[in-house]
Amino acid sequence: MDEPKKKLNRSDLTSLLAFILSIAALAIGIIEARIMSQQQETMVQQQKAAVWPYLELRGGITLTDSLFFESVAENKGVGPAVIKSMSVLVNGQIYTDIGDFTKAMSDVLGVGQFTITRFGISQTKSVYKPGESKRLLEVQIYNKKAFLDKIGYIPVHITYCSIYDECWRENGTDINVGE
């Protein structure tokens, strides 16, 4: 016996149409949620970029009857620079303390061959507001030849972060993972 073919009535068509529309609405909702998530991520990145610091470090040597070395840090970014660490190098050795730095300079140049007029290198945290400039290191060296032959330059290194804890080294250098 043949079973009679079942006809679709209005109620069945209405149910099928409602099911199809609900699946379409769900798909549209998922697409909208993805778009909103991408927009939110973009807004977060823009918010972070709106407060990025850029700490520029400049060093200079002035030659007169003696040699005068200085290092200046300036926040040229749009947000505050939170200083995490500062150090100065003499012949490859890192110094964060004026006493150790003075001893290292004395060991290389000799006692009385230099005067430290400013040592703003410190491990204490500080914040540079946008546009703020600070003189970190000033050293007057009396024996120019000994300095140029034995040391040559005194690099200063700074690690700084934004308020969102994204960090860089002086002059915007990215910090590699594991450093």
Alpha helices in 50-170 (DSSP H): 98-109, 144-150
Compute, in degrees rounded to 10, the torsion defined by CA atoms 7, 9, 11, 16. 60
148 SS3 class:
helix
How does pLDDT run across 78-93, given as a tens digit for each residue? 999 999 989 999 988 9
| Residue range 103-156, pLDDT digits in tens | 999 999 999 999 999 998 876 678 999 999 999 999 999 988 888 889 888 999
pLDDT higher than threshold 90 for residue 10: no
* pLDDT one-digit tens code per residue, 50-72: 788 999 999 888 888 888 999 99
Q: Which residue has the higher pLDDT, 97 or 176?
A: 97
Residue, of 171 and 127, whose pLDDT is higher: 127
**What does the alpha-carbon distance between residue 92 and residue 107 come to, in Å, rounded to a whole number?**
14
The Cα angle at residue 99 between residues 145 and 109, in degrees rounded to 5: 15
User: What letter would DSSP give residue 46?
Assistant: H
Percentage of the chain exceeding pLDDT 90: 50
pLDDT confidence of residue 179: 46
Residue 2: band (very low, low, confident or very high) from pLDDT cuts 50, 70, 90: low
Work out the mean pLDDT of the chain and round it to a whole number: 87
Determine contact, residues 129/51, Cβ cutoff 8 Å: no
How far apart are the C-alpha atoms of 168 and 124, rounded to whole Å?
Answer: 17
> Looking at residue 177, what is its pLDDT?
43
Predicted pLDDT of residue 105: 93
pLDDT at residue 178 greater than cutoff 50: no
Distance of CA 135 to the CA centre of its chain: 20
Give the number of other CB atoms < 10 A from CB of residue 175. Answer: 14
Residue ranges of the alpha helices (H) in the chain? 10-49, 98-109, 144-150
Residues 6+ apart with CB under 8 A from 52: 77, 78, 79, 162, 166
Residue 1 has pLDDT above 60, yes or no: no
pTM for the predicted model, two decimal places: 0.70
